[in-house]
Structure 1
Amino acid sequence: MVSVAVVGLGLAVVGFAGRQVLRAAPHVAKKMSDVLNTMSLESSLSKYHKGGFEPTMSKREASLVLDVSPNAPKNKIREAHRRIMLINHPDKGGSPYIATKINEAKDLLDKK
């Protein structure tokens, strides 16, 4: 008889706790949303450029790709190109598209 009462009391506690969790769920969801918005704000302050590539590469975009000044000397451009290509080369698992963009950036900045 005592075990039936204990089981009943346990079920009541579980039910009450579940009800409280469901009542708190909207507040928890709002808090999570606020945290995620804060995280996205922090990621937008990153030193990396956010967004894709332009249809035709500009001098600004080329300097962002190689992480050099638009007026950098040729030797700095070549060093930056080499450093980035060693990391992103398709033979080492890099993307052929990214490698093409890196080469395009070097060619554009090297022309001047």
Structure 2
Amino acid sequence: MNGVILAGLGVAAVAFTGKYLLRQMPNAAKTFNEAMKNLPNFEASSKYYKGGFDQKMNRREAALILGISPSANKQKVKDAFKKVMAVNHPDRGGSPYLASKINEAKDYLEKHSR
């Protein structure tokens, strides 16, 4: 009998707590929104390029893919290619599409290097 009474009191306590929390939700949402407005804007300070690939490979895009300057020499292109491809190779779980874009970027920069 005591177990039934304790279970009933437990259910009542959970119900009253839930009712209290639901009534406080609008205030919590308002506080959360105000806190989010005060956070700094991280998008502007991101070091990653935001945007997709161009239709045709160009020097700027190839350099962005490999993470080097557009005027890099062939040795820097080769070293950057090895570094980026080691992380993104399809045999190691990388994307075949990204691997093809990395290869395309290396080929473009090697062909059009100064």
Query: Normalising to structure 2: TM-score of the pair?
Result: 0.71
1:46-86: CA deviations, max 9, x gaps? Answer: 21222322222222111111000001111101110111112
Q: CA RMSD in A?
A: 3.4
Shift of the 85–12 alpha-carbon distance from structure 1 to 2, 3 Å rule, reads closer
Q: Which residue of 2 aligns with 1:96?
A: 96
Please tell me the residue identity of whatever aligns with 1:97.
Answer: Y
Q: Which residue of 2 aligns with 1:84?
A: 84
Q: Which residue of 1 aligns with 2:29?
A: 29
Shift of the 37–82 alpha-carbon distance from structure 1 to 2, 3 Å rule, reads farther
- Whether the aligned pair in 2 keeps the contact of 1:44 and 1:50 (CA below 8 Å) is no
Query: Normalising to structure 1: TM-score of the pair?
Result: 0.72
Q: Percent identity?
A: 47
Higher normalized helix content (fraction of residues): 1
Unpaired segments ≥5 residues, structure 2: none
Q: Within 5 A, what are the aligned runs for 1:19-58?
A: 19-33=19-33, 41-58=41-58
Write the distance in 2 (CA, Å) between the matches of 1:22 and 1:70.
Answer: 56
